[in-house]
A and B are shown apart, each in its own frame.
Chain A
């Protein structure tokens, strides 16, 4: 009797245990599958996996997933499976039924099995998130009354809740992605180069300006160590600043000369600041690169501006001097010089004549500059010999000069050019006058003309005071005057050389200046023989 009962108990236990094991197996399978849902970050894949798992539980004919649209408080079909393409599910249940099921929050069959007319069974599986309903799966199966039980109800409920988590994660993920894009846009719109590195020195963020300024060609920079792709002095300097900021918490801006591309030399300013998380823990460094060459350009423009205002004062001085000389000599001629004193009159008139020439020269220089600036400076071509032109120009100088020697040296035969003769005369006058002006008494100005295959080269050298090396690159700039305040007081508008260079270049020629301070300067221009 007792044995019998024991046996019965044993059988009952065995049955219960095997039932339990079955359920545990099933739940483990479902759990594995659900993990697949949660690990998805693509809506379609989430829906696919969700539908697959549901199909393993309820062998549906077709199913569709509807999502709620929060803005217009409606739902739309987001996915379906088992339905021929481009067709939507027919016979959607009444909205109040859907609302009721969503409120209950569990898988609900909405077709009566006993309804003889029902050929298919419709059911709704709500997808409910942590705080709101996200949507539901609408499931259509054949009329099989045996598929509704507790086990399937709880499995479907579990899978739907996992799907809800996956969808909410996806929303968060999208949110993060869009705020990342927002940040990226901001970082890209900054004209400086910005690079964030983590505690290990690996790049976590970089903008295009960094790669542009530094000429980095490496494609994939994110995740790489900055020592891997930075070069030369820049690498050393960034490393120094990074170490400095991590140990001291601040770093002084430093500058480094750098060659991002062949033949481009720039000055890069580097600053850095600490990168911290929401708990104020240091998580890396932000390095900012600034192309200082841009500010060099600003410096140049500021200097040009200063030169312009200097020019105005120079020019007025330049004009006033000959004018006042002319005025006082004219006055003297009219009031003080005797009619009979022809010698004095001749002398006074020649002074007035030469000062008028001087004045004409200055004014024509001004006109040339304004013509160049307005673009109306045209060339009037003709054939002439440069040798003859040089000779005719130095005759004028020689007539006036007694204390400076001018030598000429012509190599070659013809020296014939096709150019604007008046303009080239101006070039020669300007260059020779310049050399003469800066030469001390007893100095020598020599003019050499060489002939090449297609061009004629002319050099004018003097034994003058020379030009300081740092000022040499600017002498052809408009209004530039060599700063010689502690040597000679020599007048000049500063327009001459810039006009000269412009004339030579507009003929397709070129112009260079060399100089040694205290020994003298050489100005050389070359002109093509044939008009271009």
Chain B
């Protein structure tokens, strides 16, 4: 039901947002086991502004490499393909959806801060759990609420209604969205990421970040994103567009084997990393 409505609505959009061609090429290349570093560097170099963003992020304190990275090629072999993929993907998406409409209720800057923080917490939890591919978990966290941007861009009036409803009725935005659209941002985000042929595990983790115990195949990763999302509100940096702290899914919490002590220990490194990662937001120049 929900899904059909969603598909119906999205098909009404004449031009669905696409990933910039260069970014899409790069992502495909990084996923191909045989692509060489120069091939990928060539693809990135097609977009001058992407190239400079990649270099800027590669040299940022977030990665902290003790040396200067002057070429894209070097950035690729030093940071590795997963990091490069993440840098390209996140900078492209954020650049594409960063323009704020001066909307009072949905501040894009606040939104991407929320997303970035959620990405970093997801990564930290994964590291703590010994999950190898923690860089992908960063992307899951970063893109978990991506659907909100899509709704805000393509169904702006209705989305503003949902935001107002969430505010006045003091309900979570996802519930307000559901009341108005018959679906919510998690499904929208997932659908779009799927179209961009991002890894299925990432797509599913985004789709189930509100109900992580409902999909077995991504129980772990969706739980990480869910708990990270919850912790974002507790830390109080950024905003997802609503003020209601969502209820924490107990099963997800238990699955991660966390406790107050561990969270307390993690908080400082998380905030430090957040500060060093603002390059991802493309506004490093602003803060300088």
Asked if chains A and B come from one complex, the reply is yes
Residues of A within 8 A of B (CB): 23, 94, 96-97, 99-100, 104, 106, 108-110, 112-114, 123, 145-151, 153-154
Question: Is B62 close to A, CB under 8 A?
Answer: no
A108 lies within 8 A of B74 (CB): no
What CA separation (Å) do A100 and B36 show in the bound complex? 23
- Distance between Cα atoms of A150 and B35 in the complex (Å): 7
B81→A146 contact, CB < 8 A: no
Check A112–B70 contact: CB distance below 8 A. Answer: yes
Flag if A146 contacts B70 (CB, 8 Å).
no
What's the nearest-Cβ distance from chain A to residue B12, in Å? 26
Distance to closest chain A CB from B67 (angstroms) = 6
- Is B66 an interface residue when CB atoms closer than 8 A count as contact? yes
Which residues in B have their C-beta under 8 angstroms from that of A23?
Answer: 33
Does B80 reach chain A (CB closer than 8 Å)? Answer: yes
Q: B35 contacts A109, CB within 8 Å?
A: no
Q: Is B38 an interface residue (CB 8 A)?
A: yes
List the A side residues contacting B178 at CB < 8 Å. none
Contact of B32 with A by CB under 8 A: yes
> Considering the chains assembled together, what is the distance between the CA atoms of A108 and B75 in angstroms?
11
A413 to B: closest C-beta gap in Å: 107
Q: Check A109–B77 contact: CB distance below 8 A.
A: yes
Binary contact readout B202-229 vs A (1 if CB under 8 angstroms, 0 otherwise): 0000000000000000000000000000
Q: A108-B77, A109-B78, A150-B33 are in contact. Are A145 and B38 (CB under 8 A)?
A: yes
Q: Flag if B73 contacts A108 (CB, 8 Å).
A: no
Give B contacts to A, CB under 8 Å.
30-38, 64-67, 70-71, 73-74, 76-78, 80-81
A-B contacts, 23 of them at CB < 8 A, read A108-B77, A108-B80, A109-B78, A110-B67, A112-B70, A112-B71, A113-B71, A113-B74, A114-B71, A114-B73, A145-B36, A145-B38, A145-B73, A146-B36, A149-B33, A149-B35, A149-B81, A150-B31, A150-B34, A150-B81, A151-B33, A151-B34, A153-B81
Interface pair A113/B30, CB less than 8 Å apart: no
In the complex, the answer to whether B38 meets A113 with C-beta atoms within 8 Å is yes
User: Cα distance A145–B37 when bound, in Å?
Assistant: 7
* B78 contacts A108, C-beta separation under 8 Å: yes
Q: Are A148 and B37 touching (Cβ within 8 A)?
A: yes
A16: min CB distance to chain B, Å: 11
Bound complex: CA of A23 vs CA of B64, how far in Å? Answer: 33
Bound-state CA distance A430–B70 (Å) is: 115
Interchain CA distance A123-B77 in the complex, whole Å = 9
User: Nearest residue in A to B65 (C-beta to C-beta)?
Assistant: A100
Closest residue of chain A to B67 (Cβ to Cβ) is A97
Q: Are A113 and B32 in contact (CB under 8 A)?
A: no
| In the complex, chain A residues whose CB is within 8 Å of the CB of B38 | 113, 145-146
Q: Which residues of A contact B74 (CB under 8 A)?
A: 112-114
Contacts of A99 in B (CB 8 A): 66
CB distance from A99 to the nearest CB of B (A): 8
- Name the one of A97, A108, A146, A151 contacting B66, with C-beta atoms under 8 angstroms: A97
In the complex, the answer to whether B36 meets A112 with C-beta atoms within 8 Å is: no
Q: Nearest Cβ in chain A — how far from B55, in angstroms?
A: 12
* Apart from the given pairs A114-B70, A147-B36, A150-B34, 8 other A-B contacts in the complex at a CB distance below 8 Å: A94-B66, A113-B37, A113-B73, A113-B74, A114-B74, A145-B37, A149-B34, A149-B81
Q: Closest Cβ of chain B: how far from A150's Cβ, in Å?
A: 5
Taken together as a complex, chains A and B put the C-alpha atoms of A151 and B37 apart, in Å, by 12
6 residue pairs, one from A and one from B, having the closest CB atoms = A109-B77, A151-B33, A112-B74, A96-B66, A148-B37, A150-B33
Residue in B33, B34, B74 with the greatest tally of chain A CB atoms within 10 Å: B33
Docked pose: A522 CA to B8 CA in angstroms? 131
- Residue of B66, B70, B81 contacting most chain A CB atoms (<10 Å): B66
The chain B residue with its CB closest to the CB of A96 is B66
